[in-house]
Copies of this chain bind each other. A is one copy, B any other.
Amino acid sequence: MTPGRAVSTATTDRSEPRENGAERVDKRARILEAAIHVFARHGYHGARVSDIAREAGIAYGLVYHYFRNKEEILASVFEERWSGFLGVVETIVAGPSTSHEKLEAIAAIILNAFRVRPDWVKVLVLEIQRSSRFSDPERIRAVGRLFEQVARIVRAGQEAGELRRDVDPQVACFVFLGALDLAITSLVLGLTKIDGGQEIEYHARAARNVVDVFLRGVEARQA
């Protein structure tokens, strides 16, 4: 059992699993999980610490045992989840696939995230992404690391002759990640409606489409 993801398998497996260490991790994780739900529902400012505590099923004050204050909860939500996400991206980027495949994999992951953990994505998109004002450069740098990964793909593709050399990698990042950001924001805000049960296909197709436009552009080509 790996603490830090204790949530999903908590009281399971065997009985009385290391009640102490486990419990401790459990409470902290439960608070984060609860915070994500509450932030997603009411927004950071609309969320009361007491809401989080109630949702987590713990006493009010315990929140302050694990977190200095409300802001730190949001920061932790971000840090701990983002680094996981970034790890996956880095693995993809470091892999042997073509640029095309890597981009599609990243697009798929991002779009899928909303299907798997909509609340977490909501918080990321609506609360964290837009609240950089409050945060340390640390957080900005963390986001920058995603840009860095995409830029790496682009540069590698350019060197391999797969991608145009006259495109500024930063602009490419804006186009690629911007498209995904907006697509996901659209999902978060409920602007894009998907028929129930069609989510998986929808996201896969959306990923392909975004990558397709990114790679080939929308301009019609002369025969």
How distant is A138 from chain B, measured CB to nearest CB, in Å? 13
Q: Is A113 an interface residue (CB 8 A)?
A: no
Q: Is A7 an interface residue (CB 8 A)?
A: no
Q: Is A133 an interface residue (CB 8 A)?
A: yes
Rounded to whole angstroms, the CA-CA distance of A86 and B168 in the bound complex is: 29
In the complex with contacts A164-B218, A217-B215, A210-B125 CB distance below 8 A: no
> Could you mark each residue 62-102 of chain A with 1 if its beta carbon is under 8 Å from any beta carbon of chain B, else 0?
00000000000000000000000000000000000000100
| Contact pick for A163, options B140, B161, B219, CB 8 Å | B219
Q: Is A114 an interface residue (CB 8 A)?
A: no
Copies of this chain: 4
How distant is A167 from chain B, measured CB to nearest CB, in Å? 5
Q: Are A218 and B215 in contact (CB under 8 A)?
A: yes
Residues of chain B within 8 A of A168, CB atoms compared: 209
> Could you mark each residue 174-206 of chain A with 1 if its beta carbon is under 8 Å from any beta carbon of chain B, else 0?
110111111101100101100000000000001
Q: Are A140 and B189 in contact (CB under 8 A)?
A: yes
Q: How many residues of A contact B (CB 8 A)?
A: 58
Q: Are B167 and A133 in contact (CB under 8 A)?
A: no
Residues of chain B within 8 A of A182, CB atoms compared: 173-174, 177-178, 181
Rounded to whole angstroms, the CA-CA distance of A182 and B216 in the bound complex is: 20
The 4 closest A-B pairs by CB, nearest first: A178-B178, A217-B217, A178-B182, A216-B217
What are some 12 contacts across the A-B interface (CB < 8 A)?
A125-B130, A127-B130, A133-B189, A140-B191, A163-B219, A164-B216, A165-B220, A171-B210, A174-B182, A175-B213, A213-B217, A215-B217
Binding site for B on A (CB under 8 A): 3, 42-43, 45-46, 59, 100, 125-127, 129-134, 140, 144, 154, 157, 161-165, 167-168, 170-175, 177-183, 185-186, 189, 191-192, 206, 209-210, 212-221
